Homo-oligomer: A and B are copies of this chain.
Amino acid sequence: MALRNPSSERLLHKLVTTARGDPSNMRIVLDAMGTDEYPVPDVAGAVDAAREWGDDEIILVGREEVIRPELARHDTAGLNLELVHAPEVIEMDDKPAQATRAKKHSSMHVGMGLVRDGQADAYVTAGNTGGVLAVATLHTLKRIRGIKRPAMTGILPLPAGHVVALDIGANADCRPEYLLQFALMGDVYARKVLGCERPRVALLSNGEEPRKGNTLVKDTYDLLESSGLNFIGNFEPKEAISIEADVVVFDGFTGNIFIKTLEATAKMLTDLIREEIKANPLTAIGGLLAKPAFGRVARQVDPFEVGGGPLLGVNGVVIVAHGRSNARAIKNAIGQARKAVQGGVVDAIRDGLQDDREG
């Protein structure tokens, strides 16, 4: 394990050159100050990832004095782990616009700065989503040329497979052209990362009939129909959940409500079942016997198994994980970053826009 300091340019450069010796090796930045319980789950997830994918390098970014003692609790001998100091932290309850302007040396700025400067291939964080968005679009990576609005993207773990859902929160107010670009970016992600050959793209609406919806959805429908994408029409939530589509598109307000309602309902229902099963000795015994079944259900819809989703439309791979992530979720988010880098998602989005401009 080595310590790097962004101000120590020479050392940094040397290390980077060395690591770049084998171009197949990836360098993934993990924001150590991300989760609600940072740095504990973050560091543990990074250590697990370094152990699993030994050829790649994990760069922990954050306050050295916080990360180092936490790292000392793990056996890191022989692991491809680095530490880059960043003195400031964008906290969960910080207001993104102000905090990202005021804390230019945050782990987000430093971490995404490494990706911008070509010193790392991807950045992973479980931190303040608004902060990630602001630091990515305004301060470091910036939007891909031609992209009107980057989209926060969820990879929904559903019983029958994964669904790429975007925008789930970056843009509360949208225009039809933004949604068209979300669909294009989601299509790229589903092809390059999930391995769908010709992703089925759906538009979330309040009815399945063509052109049913609010004005935004109606106008977007027409754009998607003539987009060349494999657009399969309007989907109500039940279709979106039962995975008859690979990509589901919505504005960031609707998408955020959709995904949060999904999470909240699942939690409400499982809490209620747990409570009622425990309420009586006989049902409690039944619950114990049925436990493996509940375990199988939980694994099929476990967001921590996915780990995180990409912020699509910026010049670099950025994966955002849930603030409540545990070590497994962080490790899996790093896994998502690896897949996005391997799939060449950022270049594919750039190329897609190129075709678009030429076509």
Contacts and interface: CB of A to CB of B under 8 A. Distances in A.
A78 interface: no
B258 A261 contact: yes
Contacts of A159: 268, 272
B297 A293 contact: no
Interface residues of A, number: 57
Counted per complex, copies of this chain come to 2
A264 B238 contact: yes
A283 B277 CA distance: 14
Interface string A248-275: 0001111011101111111111101100
B283 A268 contact: no
Interface stretch (A68-76, A98-106, A284-292): A284-292
Interface in A273-320: 273, 276-277, 279-280, 282-283, 285-294, 296-297, 300-301
A270 to B, nearest CB: 8
Contacts of A204: 257
Interface string A137-177: 00000000000000000000011000000000100110000
B293 A268 contact: no
Contacts of A279: 293, 296
A236 interface: yes
A238 B215 contact: no
Nearest to A159: B272
B297 A292 contact: no
B277 A265 contact: no
A235 B273 CA distance: 24
Nearest to A283: B293
Contacts of A172: 206, 213-215, 217
A242 interface: yes
Interface in A202-258: 204, 206, 213-215, 217, 236-238, 240-242, 251-254, 256-258
B277 A290 contact: yes
Contact of A254 (B240, B253, B289): B253
B238 A263 contact: yes
Contacts of A292: 280, 282-283
A183 to B, nearest CB: 18
Interface string A178-210: 000000000000000000000000001010000
B283 A214 contact: no
A166 B330 CA distance: 38
Interface of A: 158-159, 169, 172-173, 204, 206, 213-215, 217, 236-238, 240-242, 251-254, 256-258, 260-270, 272-273, 276-277, 279-280, 282-283, 285-294, 296-297, 300-301
